[in-house]
């Protein structure tokens, strides 16, 4: 049998560009962040930061918001993704294009769209004023940020669900249906377990994106206290480089833990469904 392994020099040449990018854009910046955040007293600096009620409240709000966005995105995307993957109807391609269109928008544009929907001059406020006499304005709150994050998260997960749904074994569902299983039980016992590896991975990416999203929060940041905005405030308005760097490390660690757990659970799910 022929050995198709690349020679050592070729392997080094092929991996060198990726390694250079990793060192330049991740390892060196992260090392610099750790050095700046330590400020010569690593434990004391991080201890004081973690004991600060405002910072921990901001972190908690960010985690809860990201978790809510992830859960809602997964629920809506499973329903929509299965429908789009399994049904043919007029206008399907147009609908799919519209659903995935937000992928082209930066966070600032998404925030502006939320303002146009639920801001002081937004559509919802105008309608509520006519119907109830009160103007409903929630674009500049956690609700507005939730809608914005949901808007750019759903397209990513829908694409993943559709790709996973095309690989489902339809014979398993037909067998369960012939044995009298209800649609809900088929969904619970067959479809969702088969989709679970893809859903876990997509959910982890959705959570990580919501944790670090800045453009939308910056556009709507009137009454919003999420960690990216706190980092921005400490860095720009307060010129507090140590705290900004430390909070960046904390944000990265929390996100990395979620991604690591998701990868572990996803691997277990793949093994269980194999």
Q: pLDDT tens for residues 25-78?
A: 888 888 888 888 887 788 888 888 888 998 999 999 999 999 999 999 999 999
Task: Tell me what the mean pLDDT of segment 262-267 comes to.
Answer: 76
pLDDT digits (tens, 9 = 90+) for 215-249: 888 888 766 889 999 999 888 888 888 888 989 99
Contact 106, 99 (CB under 8 A): no
The residue assigned the tokens 């905005």 is: 229
Mean pLDDT rounded to a whole number for the chain: 85
Task: Give pTM, 2 decimals.
Answer: 0.83
Residue 273 in this model has a pLDDT that exceeds 50 = no
The alpha carbons of the chain give a radius of gyration, in whole angstroms, of: 23
Terminal alpha carbon distance of the chain: 30
SS3 270: helix
Is 233:54 a contact under the CB 8 Å cutoff?
A: no
Q: What distance in Å separates the CA atoms of residue 162 and residue 198, rounded to the nearest whole number?
A: 10
Q: CA nearest 217: which of 116, 115, 75? A: 115
198 alpha-carbon distance from chain centroid: 14
pLDDT of residue 156: 86
How far is residue 63's CA from residue 253's CA, in Å, rounded to a whole number? 12
Q: How far is CA 75 from CA 5, 202, 269, in A?
A: 44, 12, 18
> Reduced to 3 states, what is the DSSP secondary structure of residue 104?
helix
The contacts of residue 259 (CB under 8 Å, 6+ apart) are 204, 205, 208
51: helix, coil or strand?
A: coil
Judge whether 215 and 108 are in contact, CB under 8 Å.
Answer: yes
- Mean pLDDT over 128-153 rounds to 89
Domain 47-273: CATH superfamily is MetI-like (1.10.3720.10)
Per DSSP, the three-state class of 273 is helix
The residues, any chain, with a CB within 8 Å of residue 147's CB and separated by 6 or more, are 114, 117, 118
Angle at 187 between CA 185 and CA 192, to 5 degrees: 130
The pLDDT tens digits for 180-212 are 888 888 888 888 888 888 888 889 989 999 998
């Amino acid at each position: 049998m022929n050995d198709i392994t690349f020679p050592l020099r070729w392997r080094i040449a092929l991996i060198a560009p990726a390694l250079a990018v990793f060192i330049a854009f991740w390892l060196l910046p992260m090392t610099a962040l750790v050095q700046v955040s330590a400020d010569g007293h690593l434990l004391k600096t991080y201890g004081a930061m973690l004991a600060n009620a405002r910072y921990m409240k901001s972190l908690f709000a960010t985690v809860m918001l990201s978790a809510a966005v992830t859960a809602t995105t997964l629920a809506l995307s499973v329903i929509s993704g299965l429908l789009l993957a399994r049904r043919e109807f007029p206008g399907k391609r147009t609908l799919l294009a519209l659903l995935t269109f937000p992928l082209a928008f930066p966070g600032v544009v998404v925030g502006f769209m939320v303002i146009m929907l639920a801001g002081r001059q937004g559509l919802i406020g105008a309608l509520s004023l006519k119907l109830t006499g009160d103007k409903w304005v929630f674009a500049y709150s956690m609700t507005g940020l939730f809608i914005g994050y949901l808007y750019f998260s759903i397209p990513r997960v829908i694409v993943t669900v559709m790709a996973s749904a095309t690989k489902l074994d339809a014979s398993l569902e037909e067998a369960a249906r012939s044995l009298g299983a209800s649609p809900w039980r088929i969904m619970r016992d067959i479809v969702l377990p088969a989709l679970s590896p893809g859903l876990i991975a997509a959910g982890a990416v959705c959570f990580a994106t919501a944790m670090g999203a800045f453009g939308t929060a910056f556009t709507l940041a009137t009454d919003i206290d999420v960690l990216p905005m706190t980092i921005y405030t400490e860095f720009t308005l307060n010129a507090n480089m140590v705290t900004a760097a430390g909070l960046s490390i904390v944000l990265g660690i929390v996100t990395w833990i979620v991604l690591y757990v998701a990868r572990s659970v996803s691997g277990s799910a793949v093994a269980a469904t194999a």
